[in-house]
């Protein structure tokens, strides 16, 4: 598979981390208000990001660079529905929709598009966004399974376009998942087919990095300048939801080590994604507005189920008991990690909403006695003498039970990993903390042959749809199944639940899978995360407080209170540090996704 083929899910998943939660709705009932700005856009918003990757792809189906995903997020804000992190869905490109359960067991979903939505090539309108573009997008997914992140293509029996503003999907089953997936797919222009000589299968190789104007976008901002170091976005005066108040957004990689707080205070940057462990320090600064909003993300402790000693179920249970998850969430994550209505219980429980849990699941609360008992049940004992005295060793070989906890240089992850190492020492287990560069960490965690360590990291989507959440993390074909969980019975339970459309029945159908997960504890669930963004409120106003930076709705109303400081050129690096963008973990996983599942299919 080509490198382009390995980029399948990045844009979709990165977008989910900003605004998306899944809900069950058959008819749109709420509208997102258009921008009320009647004045000419003004000011440049400087978006601080420490990501050191280069921009090499602006195709929203395949872009992997963090800078690239930020840019395309504003350039292609044309999903059929706008799904919020609160669980509400609003009309977006589609003004309304309806679903019909057909007598033969199929499902029809019809979307009615906004007739005022246009494609723009920088400064001019090049055509209306029509049902033909919607049909083209999903035909591309059907022709490119590597781009079809949620595998919806085979379930689409037909796509009909009776007119330019109406598109109907005929789905093979009456599943509650189909509306969710269809509504959150970014739509691409059908004219792109001419760039690939009419070959649908080559759209994934189209980098969309040609001469300015070829991009043909549909978001609130259009591309003005681009190179490998970043880009400048200009306000689109042709966006169907209105004209943004900001004239420009500068997105650039910043590589110096000065603190984020100092950069925001000086006005070097106007806003950024923050690190949760910095929240309390930054929240005391009157010039900073710190926003913690509900985020569909979960922190986990990961280990490869196919590698010793993680292949031992008792070891996994012991780890679930041994980790003081309250310490991690309350102290290491500054209490922000447990924020939000989707907060999950600590332990080895499946990370779905509490109301969706099966009854009588085990609660793996912090308990050192239970942890040591599980290690003993797994075939280990505490050595009374010799070089390993006081530590667990294998009953048969005498080998030391030894863990390496490996994480990248992210402050709150390091703090959490340090606590985890201490927790293991408290139950007589030898553990070492290893902080490595992102490239090293990614090649370890996202590659089964190398993944033989423990790693604490988060920002894993925890969708309110329980099927989607459990499937993504625990199914053989799940995107987030980094631990290589290959339980056939578990996959059978997921397959049986896949097409249950009623929410109540769906939850009940997943009970057997949850109980199996609970007994095996294939990964250790630590807790929920909040989405944390920071604005310099002396410079910036109008941003929404219920969504994070990057949400196109928020950027529609954001404005600069006064003239912004001189904008840096794309060859000058301004100072920020101590912050991470969640998409790092997403990108590493997405790049590896298709290779991983190809290998599984070959077994």
pLDDT score of 226: 79
Residue 565: CA count within 13 A, CB half-sphere: 16
Range in 204-218, 290-304, 480-494, 566-580 with the lowest mean pLDDT:
566-580
Using an 8 Å Cβ cutoff, are 96 and 577 in contact? no
Q: What pLDDT is stored for residue 47 in this prediction?
A: 86
Read off the CATH number of the domain in which 193 is found: 3.40.190.10
On whether both 523 and 544 belong to a single domain, the answer is no
Co-location of 363 and 505 in the same domain: yes
32: in domain? yes
> For position 251, what pLDDT does the model report?
82
Q: Residue 228: CB partners within 8 Å, gap ≥ 6? A: 54, 55, 56
* Stretch among 278-282, 291-295, 505-509 having the lowest mean pLDDT: 291-295
Percent of the chain with pLDDT over 90: 43
pLDDT for residue 259: 59
Q: Based on the fold, state whether residues 494 and 558 are members of the same structural domain.
A: no
> Residues for the chain: how many in total?
603
Average pLDDT over residues 205-231: 81
Residues 557, 453, single domain; the answer is no
End residue of a domain, out of 479, 505, 529: 529
What are 512-551's pLDDT values in tens digits? 999 999 999 988 888 877 778 889 999 999 998 877 787 8
Instruction: Quote the pLDDT of residue 401.
Output: 98
Q: Give the pLDDT confidence score for residue 135 in this predicted structure.
A: 98
Per-residue pLDDT, 487: 93
Residue 318 lies inside a defined structural domain of this protein? yes
Distance CA 413, CA 585 (A): 12
Are residue 381 and residue 486 in the same domain, yes or no?
A: yes
Angle between helix 368-377 and helix 313-322 axes, rounded to 10 deg: 170
Range 475-490 average pLDDT: 88
Residues 477 and 589 placed together within one structural domain of the fold: no
Q: Quickly list H helices, 310-465.
A: 313-322, 325-326, 368-377, 411-426, 438-445
pLDDT range class, residue 173, cuts 50, 70, 90: confident
CA distance 249 to 313: 50
Q: Which of 501, 529, 557 is the last residue of a domain?
A: 529
In a domain, 203, yes or no: yes
Q: How confident is the model at residue 208 (pLDDT cuts 50, 70, 90)?
A: confident
**282 lies in a domain?**
no
Q: What is the pLDDT of residue 435?
A: 96
Other CB atoms closer than 10 Å to residue 545's CB: what's the count? 11
What pLDDT score does 532 carry? Answer: 81
Digit-coded pLDDT (tens) for 263-277 = 777 778 898 877 777
pLDDT for 37 beyond 70:
no
Quote the pLDDT of residue 16. Answer: 32
Last residue of a domain, one of 497, 529, 561: 529
Query: Is residue 276 in a domain?
Result: no
CA distance 416 to 414: 5
Q: Residue 350 is part of a domain; what is its CATH number?
A: 3.10.105.10
- Asked if the peptide bond before residue 309 counts as cis, ω within 30 degrees of 0, the response is yes
> What pLDDT band is residue 447 in, cutting at 50, 70 and 90?
confident
Using DSSP, state whether 390 is helix, strand or coil.
coil
How many contiguous H segments (helices) and E segments (strands) does the chain have? 17, 22
Q: Are 342 and 296 in contact (CB under 8 A)?
A: yes
Asked if residue 398 has pLDDT above 80, the reply is: yes
Cβ atoms of 114 and 241 closer than 8 Å? no
Per-residue pLDDT, averaged over 104-133, amounts to 94
232-246, 291-305, 390-404, 409-423: lowest mean pLDDT where? 291-305
Place of tokens 């400048």: 232
CA distance 458 to 577: 20
Domains in the chain, number: 2
Lowest-confidence pick of 38-42, 236-240, 508-512? 38-42
Residue 450 CA: distances (Å) to CA of 208, 246, 406, 483, 519 = 34, 46, 12, 11, 26
Question: Average per-residue pLDDT in the chain?
Answer: 80
Report how far residue 135's alpha carbon sits from residue 156's, in angstroms, rounded to the nearest whole number.
Answer: 11
User: Burial of 488 by CB count in 10 Å (0-12 exposed, 13-18 middle, 19+ buried)?
Assistant: exposed
- pLDDT score at 181: 84
| Tokens coding 22 | 């899944």
pLDDT at 471: 86
Whether the predicted pLDDT of 6 surpasses 90? no
SS3 of 27-80: the string is: CCCCCCCCCCCCCCCCCEEEEEECCCCCCCCCCCCCCCCHHHHHHHHHHCCCCC
For residues 41 and 184, membership in a common domain is answered with yes
- Based on the domain organization, do 176 and 320 belong to the same domain? no
Radius of gyration of the chain (CA): 24
Rounded to 5 degrees, what angle do the CA atoms 356, 484, 275 make?
65
Q: Identify the three-state secondary structure at position 300.
A: strand
Q: Which pLDDT does position 50 carry in this prediction?
A: 57
Where are the alpha helices (H) located in 356-510, listed in sequence order?
368-377, 411-426, 438-445, 466-474, 488-497, 503-509
Contact (Cβ atoms closer than 8 angstroms) between residue 530 and residue 293: yes
With contact defined as beta carbons under 8 Å apart, do 206 and 59 qualify? Answer: yes
**Residue 111 region by backbone torsions, left for phi larger than 0, else alpha for psi between -120 and 50, else beta:** beta
Q: What is the pLDDT confidence band of residue 211, given thresholds at 50, 70 and 90?
A: low
SS3 assignment, position 301: strand
- Answering whether pTM is above 0.75, one says no
Element (H, E) at 601: helix 583-602
- The most confident of 173-177, 212-216, 470-474, by mean pLDDT: 470-474
Q: Is residue 374's pLDDT more than 90?
A: yes
Query: Residue 472: which domain range?
Result: 295-529
SS3 284: coil
Q: Place 178 in a pLDDT band, splitting at 50, 70 and 90.
A: confident
Specify if 567 maps to a domain: yes
pLDDT in tens, 52-79: 557 778 899 988 776 788 888 899 989 9
CA dist 200 → 80, 136, 140, 267, 401 (Å): 21, 9, 5, 46, 52
φ/ψ (deg, to 5) at 361: -75, 150
514 contacts 357 by C-beta, under 8 angstroms: yes
Given pLDDT bands bounded at 50, 70 and 90, which one contains residue 469?
confident
Q: What is the dihedral of CA 97, 102, 105, 110, to 10 degrees?
A: -20
Residue 127: left if φ>0, alpha if ψ -120 to 50, beta else—which one?
Answer: left
Q: Per the domain annotation, does 45 fall within a domain? A: yes
CA distance 511 to 509: 6
Q: Residue 188 class from Cβ within 10 Å (0-12 exposed, 13-18 middle, 19+ buried)? A: buried
Question: Quick check: is 281 in a domain?
Answer: no
Q: Which pLDDT band, with edges at 50, 70 and 90, does 598 fall under?
A: very low
Average pLDDT for residues 12-36, to the nearest whole number?
Answer: 35
Q: Helices 10-19 and 583-602 sit at what angle, rounded to 10 degrees? A: 140
Looking at the structure, tell me whether residues 482 and 564 fall in a common domain.
no
Q: Where are the alpha helices (DSSP H) in 243-367?
A: 260-266, 279-283, 313-322, 325-326
Per DSSP, the three-state class of 142 is: helix
Report the distance separating Cα 297 and Cα 458, nearest Å. 7
Lowest mean pLDDT among 80-89, 117-126, 379-388: 80-89
Q: Which residues of 255-274 are buried (b: 16+ CB within 10 A; e: fewer)?
A: eeeeebbebbeebbbbbbbb
Looking at the fold, whether 310 and 435 belong to one and the same domain comes out as yes
Residues 34 and 112 in one domain: yes
Same domain? 373 vs 395? yes
């Amino acid at each position: 598979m080509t490198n382009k083929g390995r980029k399948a899910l990045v844009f979709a998943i990165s977008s989910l981390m900003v605004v998306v939660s899944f809900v069950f709705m058959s008819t749109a009932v709420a509208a997102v208000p258009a921008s009320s700005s009647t004045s000419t856009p003004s000011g440049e918003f400087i978006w601080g990001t420490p990501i050191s990757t280069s921009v090499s792809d602006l195709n929203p189906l395949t872009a992997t660079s963090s800078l690239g995903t930020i840019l395309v997020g504003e350039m292609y804000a044309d999903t059929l529905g706008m799904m919020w992190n609160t669980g509400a869905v609003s009309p977006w490109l589609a003004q309304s929709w309806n679903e019909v359960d057909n007598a033969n067991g199929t499902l029809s979903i019809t979307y009615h598009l906004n007739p005022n939505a246009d494609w723009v090539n920088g400064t001019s309108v090049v055509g209306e966004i029509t049902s033909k573009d919607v049909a083209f997008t999903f035909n591309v997914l059907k022709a490119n399974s590597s781009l079809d992140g949620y595998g919806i293509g085979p379930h689409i029996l037909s796509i009909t376009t009776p007119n330019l503003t109406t598109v109907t999907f005929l789905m093979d089953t009456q599943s509650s998942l189909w509306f969710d997936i269809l509504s959150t797919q970014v739509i691409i222009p059908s004219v792109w087919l001419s760039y690939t000589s009419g070959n649908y299968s080559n759209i994934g190789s189209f980098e969309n990095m040609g001469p300015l104007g070829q991009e043909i976008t549909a978001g609130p901002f259009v591309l003005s300048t681009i190179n490998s170091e970043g880009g400048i976005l200009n306000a689109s005066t042709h966006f169907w939801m209105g004209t943004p108040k900001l004239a420009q957004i500068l997105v650039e990689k910043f590589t110096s080590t000065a603190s984020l707080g100092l950069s925001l205070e000086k006005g070097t940057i106007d806003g950024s994604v923050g690190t949760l462990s910095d929240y309390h320090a930054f929240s005391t600064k009157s010039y900073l507005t710190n926003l913690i909003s509900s985020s569909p993300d979960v922190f986990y402790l990961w280990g490869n189920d196919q590698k010793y000693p993680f292949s031992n179920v008792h070891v996994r249970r012991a780890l679930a008991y041994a980790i003081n998850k309250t310490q991690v969430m309350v102290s290491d994550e500054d209490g922000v990690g447990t924020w939000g209505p989707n907060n999950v219980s600590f332990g080895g429980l499946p990370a779905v909403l509490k109301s969706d849990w099966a009854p009588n699941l085990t609660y793996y609360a912090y308990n050192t006695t239970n942890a040591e008992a599980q290690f003993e049940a797994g075939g280990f004992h505490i050595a009374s003498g010799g070089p390993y005295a006081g530590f667990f060793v294998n009953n048969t070989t005498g080998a030391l039970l030894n863990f390496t906890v490996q994480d990248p240089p992210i402050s709150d992850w390091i703090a959490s990993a340090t606590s985890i190492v201490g927790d293991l020492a408290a139950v007589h287990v030898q553990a070492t903390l290893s902080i490595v560069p992102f490239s090293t960490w990614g090649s370890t965690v996202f590659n089964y042959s190398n993944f033989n360590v423990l790693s604490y990291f988060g920002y894993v989507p925890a969708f309110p749809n329980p099927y989607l959440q459990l499937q993504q993390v625990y199914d053989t074909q799940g995107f987030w199944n980094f631990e290589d969980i290959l339980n056939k019975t578990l996959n059978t339970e997921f397959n049986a639940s896949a097409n249950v459309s009623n929410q109540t029945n769906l939850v009940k159908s997943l009970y057997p899978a949850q109980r199996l997960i609970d007994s095996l504890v294939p990964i250790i669930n630590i807790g929920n995360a909040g989405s944390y963004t920071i604005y310099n409120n002396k410079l910036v106003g109008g941003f929404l407080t219920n969504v994070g930076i990057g949400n196109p709705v928020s950027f529609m109303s954001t404005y600069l209170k006064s003239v912004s400081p001189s904008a840096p050129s794309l060859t000058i690096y301004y100072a920020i540090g101590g912050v991470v963008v969640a998409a790092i973990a997403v990108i590493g996983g997405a790049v590896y996704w298709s290779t991983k599942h190809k290998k599984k299919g070959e077994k």
